[in-house]
Amino acid sequence: MEKGKTIAFIDIGSNSIHLLVVEFLPGTTGVPVFHDREMVRLGQSLYKDGRIDRSTIEKCRSVVRSFVSIAKNMGADEIISFATCAVREAPNRSELLKAIRGDDYQINVISGEEEARLINLGVTGGKGVEKKTIFIDIGGGSTEISISLGKEILYLDSMTMGSVRYAYSFPYDQSGPISESEYGSYQREVLLHSYRSAKAVRDIGFERAVGSSGTMIALADMCASRRGDGDNSYFTLTELKSLMEDLRMTDAEAKLSFPGLNPSRIDIITPGGAIAEELMTIFKIERIEISGQGMKDGMYIDYLLEHGMMDIDERESSVLALARRCGYDEVHANCVERNSMVMFDGLKEAGAHNMDGRWRDRIRYASILHDIGELFGFSKHRVYSYMLIRNAQLPGLSIEDIDAVALMARFHYKKMPSPSGGMLSIFNKEDRDSMMKSLVILRFADVMDRSRTCPVVNLSFRDDGETLEMEMCSKEDIDIVMWRLDEMKEEFKNAFGRNITLNLNFIGVK
């Protein structure tokens, strides 16, 4: 990938249009730098009147042109745009496409099966799944189903059912309550159009279920609010049935009181929830996990696959992309990374710790990112580093990884945190101990390059059972470094339960 290339992905759905802008930096799989979404409702007039009306076409044209302009202003070298269900079904599709196409970008109308494949790629990140997993994405006009094991997609289907389609193709007033018989009509329609997938799901089977799309996210938000724990990463069929019983019996105004429901979804949430409830019943799904990823993300992953970029380490790519966007001091970061890795390995060999590769990677990523807060100036840069890491998109890193790396950056300089509470209270005792050891390693490694000249060329460790001896070979005078490290001996003892002595071997430069 050439230096500085930026790609924009536009997903024109039946309910919303999404823009995702990704900047590709050398040695990375890219970093998302911008995302926007506008609810256009292409499917509303289509499913109500049989064609997309002129005002909706104009709104779509305005949104697409605006997104294209934003992408170009952000330096996009290429714009990839896909349109899905409403566009492929509209009898006046050519009129819509003529209005939204430009001379320097195209709109590609894709099939339902291709839509399902791209959604699968977006949710899995192209990395595959360990357990056989069924994926359900309830869109505005269609619902996509796929089943995967590893990186293999075992099944794909696109069904003509969607939240906007059902809201406006059925003769029911969405501003009022939906009767039990009307709700049952939605469910019977789902049963009618899911016979092919129902058989395939029974034959193939699955161990895990994942839902995506705005409808699924909204249902998860509402279930989490009713449950009271705020965990919107899943919901159960029992929770959904209870929620939908209450939702369908309320009018539009009353729906505003449901925590977690965006007002823009009031008219489509009941039919969307009916689809989710019936599919979970048909497929015998008791619990479904929720993903915020979708087709726009699949377009991005598909681009990586087409350009042979998926072999790059996604975790390291994410970290380097963030560091480069913040204009980090690469020479210093590389030096701190090298020092910290030599310390981690040397101390482990000397028996000072038994931390695993997970913590080694976390220290390495923190070494790269610890100073990125200098983007806003040196004062409080450690706080800014923490905030940037916590709020950045870092694909490949778990929540726990991000927490650990961010906190290492937060405390790599000045005062050490309390090991028994405060910001480290999110960890269990074992991980708090590992966190304190990791922090000491990072702080030592950073101080060793206080001069920003990478003076320490080698480190070695010896252990007599009570005291660790660290010998540093330096190519230049590092008296100031030695004074600071001497002040940090107590930190080392508190974290590792050992005293440490420091020896310097000045080797000079030939």
For the cut 80, the answer to whether the pLDDT of residue 465 exceeds it is: no
Q: Is the dihedral of CA 449, 380, 74, 212 positive or negative?
A: positive
Residue 15 CA: distances (Å) to CA of 42, 256, 268, 303, 415:
6, 20, 10, 24, 51
Give the pLDDT mean for 191-208.
94
Give the pLDDT mean for 135-149.
94
For the cut 80, the answer to whether the pLDDT of residue 368 exceeds it is: yes
Indicate the pLDDT class of residue 1, thresholds 50, 70 and 90.
Answer: very low
For the cut 80, the answer to whether the pLDDT of residue 314 exceeds it is: no
Q: Give the pLDDT of residue 216.
A: 94
DSSP state, residue 416: P
In terms of C-beta density within 10 A (0-12 exposed, 13-18 middle, 19 or more buried), how is residue 6 classed? buried
**Nearest alpha carbon to residue 289 among 233, 227, 243, 241:** 233
Q: Give the pLDDT of residue 451.
A: 87
Within 393-472, residue ranges assigned H as helices are: 399-410, 429-448
Decide: 25 and 19 in contact? Cβ < 8 Å: no
For the cut 80, the answer to whether the pLDDT of residue 308 exceeds it is: no
Q: Give the pLDDT of residue 424.
A: 86
For the cut 90, the answer to whether the pLDDT of residue 103 exceeds it is: no
The structure's pTM equals: 0.71
Domains and CATH numbers, the chain: 5-110 (3.30.420.40), 113-294 (3.30.420.150), 314-453 (1.10.3210.10)
Element (H, E) at 316: helix 314-325
Query: Which pLDDT tens digit goes with each residue over 414-440?
Result: 888 888 777 888 888 899 999 999 999
Query: Can you tell me whether residue 102 is helix, strand or coil?
Result: strand
Give the pLDDT mean for 291-298.
89
Indicate the pLDDT class of residue 2, thresholds 50, 70 and 90.
Answer: very low
pLDDT, mean over the chain? 90
DSSP state, residue 253: H
For the record, the structure tokens of 470 come out as 């660290």
Q: Give the pLDDT of residue 203.
A: 94
Query: Which pLDDT tens digit goes with each residue over 373-387?
Result: 998 888 889 999 999
Query: Which pLDDT tens digit goes with each residue over 165-176?
Result: 999 999 999 999
Indicate the pLDDT class of residue 164, thresholds 50, 70 and 90.
Answer: very high
Indicate the pLDDT class of residue 508, thresholds 50, 70 and 90.
Answer: low
Q: Give the pLDDT of residue 283.
A: 96
